[in-house]
Amino acid sequence: MGTLIYDGSDGFTFDDRVLVHLQAVIQTKLRRREGFLLIWTDRTAGPVGVLRSIWLDPAISVQFVFAGQELPDLNRDWLTILAERANGNSGLMLEDALRAEIREEVPPGSYRASRAKPGKRREEE
């Protein structure tokens, strides 16, 4: 488990695979001098967990401390989902289902499939 350290004092734990994706999105937003809200359920406080949110701002220091010696590979699909959310009005909501997919605890596409909008049905040929 890696740690996101915000403003030099608070540390929030995330799986290294999740943290490396958060790092990519956060560094892009902060490099553009764009602040945004990060929201997730923190299960370190107990089995039910608590909903946490932090405002990430370019003026406030942020560190990423990884448990492993090498960074996990980035997945473009997950980066796209996270970046779209970070650019939205509601902020980057990091749902448990998405975190599980990034950690590879559920089959790839499970999160996206559960969030797919109903579209046109293809007619059988």
- Domain locations in the chain as residue ranges: 2-93
- Band (95; pLDDT cuts 50, 70, 90): confident
* Residues ≥6 apart with Cβ < 8 Å to 78: 21, 98, 101, 102
pLDDT of residue 65: 95
Residue 4, CA atoms < 13 Å, CB-side half-sphere: 23
0.95 surpassed by pTM: no
